Amino acid sequence: MPARSTPLQNLGFLTIGLFDEHRPELGHESTLEIIELGERLGFDSAWLRHRHLQFGISSPIAVMAAASQRTRRISLGTAVTPLGWENPIRLAEDLATVDILSGGRVNPGVSVGLPMQYERVKETLYPDTADIEDFSYERVQRLLRAVEGQSVSQWSGTEGFEQYSNRVQPHSPGLRSRMWYGGASVRSAEWAGEAGMNLLVSSVVRAEESTDFDDIQLSHIQHFRARHPDGDAARVSQGLVVIPTDSASNEQVAKYREYAQTRLPRTTTPQGPARMMFAPDLVGTSDEIADMLYDNASFRAVDEVAFALPFSFEHEDYVQILTDMATALGPALGWSGPKNDDA
């Protein structure tokens, strides 16, 4: 039996929010219903992936705004928003607005780097500035400064009947402490720590120091906390694909195992020029998955998770998976239900 860590404090889930191109309203409604279900089941957080020019959530902030009016407690996050597609000042306005609407429940996760498919979209995304756009960590710093309430204008005052602020409005004071960075390398983990952000680690990492996924992810967590002002208390949330089968039908179990099997080859060696490593999807009963998780040192180093829902399943599959996560897997990991805070 693997050694147990401290009890899991925060149980979350992550969804990509797939939809049919010809009936997108159905997929978006399904996503909102899943978030509502998550709150009823006691999940601490619901996280949305961000997809551009695909049939998944392209505007998680809009979806979070809708979800904020259909829920009262569950935290709402992005995992993650690629800042290469965003103007940091405008994004800060949207995030603060939804944070106010939700009562302080927004947990924005972001990342930087060259946008995916950039050569194919740069002429429409940045027609005048494509070759000089800054996709470095400074783009995150611009967002953080705006969220903090630092000046983004050289002037504030009254002009005619109009009043102007020199900082982003509305200002949501607690939002800065809930900013997350999605890191997949040692340097990104260290930078997130230095910036005083929280860290999201997922099922994808860069094979720099090792080709063992667990070793790599643990290294990222350690490097992050070594650079963070809060040290070992700095928040890290782990996102792996886990599929509990406690209440699944035989047909569902077969589908889940086939799904995981088709994705297994990519977990054995680094993939592509960037040498990306993928964690295997975990399928089994909640007790079996708990043993698999506790066998990983990286999992034992965290007390927050945002388990990722598989991409291509049906709504009823997600209902079963979430129900088993909340009623069986969470308790098997020591989780005791929702807290009365904005985690």
pLDDT in tens, 225-258: 999 999 999 999 999 999 999 999 999 999 999 9
- pLDDT tens-digit series, residues 163-172: 999 999 999 9
**What's residue 201's pLDDT?**
97
What is the C-alpha separation between 293 and 277, in angstroms, rounded? 17
Query: Per-residue DSSP letters for 298-335?
Result: HHHT-SEEEEEPPTT--HHHHHHHHHHIIIIIHHHTT-
- pLDDT tens-digit series, residues 35-67: 999 999 999 999 999 999 999 999 999 999 999
pLDDT at 5 over 90: no
Domains of the chain: 10-153+163-185+197-212+230-291+303-332 (3.20.20.30)
**What's residue 340's pLDDT?**
56
Report CA-CA distances (Å) from 146 to 76, 161, 171.
Answer: 20, 25, 9
Question: At 198, is the pLDDT very low, low, confident or very high (cuts 50, 70, 90)?
Answer: very high
**What's residue 343's pLDDT?**
41
pLDDT at 3 over 70: no
At residue 65, φ and ψ (nearest 5 deg) are -60, -45
- pLDDT tens-digit series, residues 7-27: 999 999 999 999 999 999 999
**What's residue 342's pLDDT?**
43
Q: Count the neighbouring beta carbons within 10 Å of the beta carbon of residue 192.
A: 28
Q: Count the neighbouring beta carbons within 10 Å of the beta carbon of residue 295.
A: 13
**What's residue 1's pLDDT?**
38
Structure tokens, 233: 């208390």
**What's residue 300's pLDDT?**
96
**What's residue 338's pLDDT?**
75
**What's residue 6's pLDDT?**
82
Q: Which residues of 245-283 are buried (b: 16+ CB within 10 A; e: fewer)?
A: bbebeeebeebbeebbeebeebeeebeeeeeebbbbbbb
Question: At 305, is the pLDDT very low, low, confident or very high (cuts 50, 70, 90)?
Answer: very high
Q: What predicted TM-score, i.e. pTM, was given to this entire model?
A: 0.95
| Average pLDDT for 94-99 | 98
